[in-house]
């Protein structure tokens, strides 16, 4: 009898222990489910706040998930990286985004933002490689294909740029930004008619599209050699890229508006990658304006210059292209500064 009671007591204690363990497991699972629901809700709030530049709201939402229960989630590291990105703390943001990707390799938003940081750091080759991975994770996003195409354009890989930009247009047919980079790419390949077709499509939808208008003026001059017609497309001389400055300076010169031509060509003529044509053209402008002393000073300046295709010249070209690219990137978030 005593043995029977002992066995019963043992089984009762075992049963209670198992019930307790099961209850603890259920409690832990419930905590994790609730934490996941909460972090997803907070994530939506933070992302929307960062998109609209509401940084105080984003920081307030971030404080809601500062307990240990949220830190194992990849989304926690992604949100931390996003907040650091908006503060332009690139290295810390990269570390946090890489943590997110280690926990969840298919976290497309973390992958995309990591590529953005590389682009902000002028590391376009790394940005391209990262965005290739982003596009494998999410192959139907037009903005991902657009940024990838832009990185190919900056890196002068024009055929891949065309492929990526066309892929972007497959998923967003009236994406004018993709058409603009496509037109720029065609111009680099001297496929002027194709560039014109893309620009015409943009200007039909948006006649006030300044960058497309500036490029169209360049196309008109290349095709028709009509400086007067080309100048009708000029909206804002300060917003011209260096390639367009050369074209519009030539247009002004042919219209005998030498002062306007000199203003546009000056930064090109003094740059380390000005070619002999740019330099002789600028000298001619200075002489036409009666600036003999400036012409003499410029002549001595170019005599001292090293070869145009120096490493410095190439670095300068790349920095200008990178600055242009950063202005044209598709951004998820605003920056705080």
What pLDDT does 19 receive? 46
Amino acid 24: pLDDT:
47
Query: What mean pLDDT comes out for the span 27-54?
Result: 87
Total of domains in the chain: 1
Residue 121 lies in a domain: yes
Q: Is the pLDDT of residue 23 over 50?
A: no
The fraction of the chain above a pLDDT of 70, given in percent, is 89
Of 83, 92, 91, 50, residue with least CA distance to 65: 83
Q: In whole angstroms, what is the distance from residue 308 CA to residue 167 CA? A: 37
pLDDT at 306: 61
List the Cα angle 111/323/194 in 5-degree steps: 90
pLDDT bucket at 18, cuts 50 / 70 / 90: very low
Q: Confirm whether 187 is domain-assigned.
A: no
33 has pLDDT over 50: yes
pLDDT score, position 94: 97
In a domain, residue 150? The reply is no
Read off the pTM. Answer: 0.86
Domain assignment present for 133: yes
Give the confidence band of 11 by pLDDT, cuts at 50, 70, 90: low
Tens-digit pLDDT profile for residues 59-112: 999 999 999 999 999 999 999 999 999 999 999 999 999 999 999 999 999 999
For residues 138-157, average pLDDT: 97
pLDDT at 25: 45
- The residue segments making up the domain with residue 132 are 33-139
- How many of the other CB atoms lie within 10 Å of CB of 177? 22
Q: Above 70 in pLDDT, residue 10?
A: no
CA-to-CA distance for 264 and 217, rounded, in angstroms? 15
Long-range CB pairs of 37-42, under 8 A, 24+ apart, other chains included: 38/64, 38/65, 38/70, 39/65, 39/70, 39/73, 39/75, 39/76, 40/75, 42/79
Give the Cα separation of 213 and 183 in Å (integer): 12
Position 316 confidence tier, pLDDT thresholds 50, 70, 90: confident
Q: Rounded to the nearest 5°, which phi and psi values hold at 274?
A: -65, 135
Residue 285 lies in a domain: no
The pLDDT value recorded for residue 276 is 86
Mean pLDDT of 163-168: 98
Residue 226 lies in a domain: no
The per-residue pLDDT for 297 is 92
Residues 169-209 pLDDT 10s: 999 999 999 999 999 999 999 999 999 999 999 999 999 99
Confidence band, pLDDT 50/70/90 cuts, at residue 272: confident
Question: What length does the chain have?
Answer: 337
What is the pLDDT at residue 28?
Answer: 58
Q: What is the pLDDT of residues 278-299, one digit of tens each?
A: 989 999 999 989 999 998 998 8
Contacts 24+ apart (CB under 8 A), 193-196: 193/223, 195/219, 196/223
Q: Does residue 99 fall inside a structural domain?
A: yes
CATH number at residue 57: 1.25.40.10
**For residue 59, is it within any domain?**
yes
Average pLDDT, the chain: 89
């Amino acid at each position: 009898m005593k043995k029977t009671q002992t066995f019963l007591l043992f089984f009762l204690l075992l049963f209670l222990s198992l019930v307790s363990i099961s209850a603890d497991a259920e409690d832990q699972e419930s905590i994790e489910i609730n934490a996941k629901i909460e972090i997803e809700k907070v994530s939506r709030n933070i992302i929307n706040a960062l998109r609209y530049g509401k940084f105080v709201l984003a920081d307030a939402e971030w404080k809601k998930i500062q307990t240990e229960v949220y830190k194992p989630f990849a989304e926690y590291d992604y949100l931390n990286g996003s907040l650091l990105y908006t503060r332009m703390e690139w290295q810390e943001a990269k570390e946090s985004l890489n943590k997110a990707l280690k926990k969840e390799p298919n976290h497309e938003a973390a992958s995309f933002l990591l590529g953005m940081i590389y682009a902000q750091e002028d590391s376009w080759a790394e940005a391209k490689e990262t965005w290739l991975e982003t596009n494998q994770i999410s192959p139907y996003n037009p903005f991902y294909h657009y940024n990838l195409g832009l990185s190919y354009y900056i890196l002068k890989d024009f055929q891949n740029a065309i492929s990526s930009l066309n892929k972007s247009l497959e998923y967003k047919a009236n994406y004018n930004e993709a058409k603009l980079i496509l037109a720029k790419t065609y111009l680099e390949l001297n496929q002027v008619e194709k560039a014109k077709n893309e620009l015409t499509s943009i200007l039909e939808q948006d006649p006030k599209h300044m960058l497309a208008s500036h490029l169209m003026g360049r196309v008109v001059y290349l095709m028709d050699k009509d400086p007067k017609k080309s100048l009708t497309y000029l909206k804002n001389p300060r917003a011209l890229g260096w390639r367009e400055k050369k074209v519009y300076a030539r247009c002004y010169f042919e219209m005998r508006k030498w002062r306007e031509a000199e203003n546009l060509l000056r930064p090109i003529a003094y740059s380390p990658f000005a070619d002999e044509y740019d330099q002789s053209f600028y000298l001619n402008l200075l002489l036409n304006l009666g600036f003999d002393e400036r012409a003499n000073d410029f002549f001595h300046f170019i005599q001292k210059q090293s070869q145009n295709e120096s490493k410095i010249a190439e670095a300068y070209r790349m920095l200008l292209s990178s600055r242009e690219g950063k202005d044209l990137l598709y951004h998820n978030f605003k920056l705080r500064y």
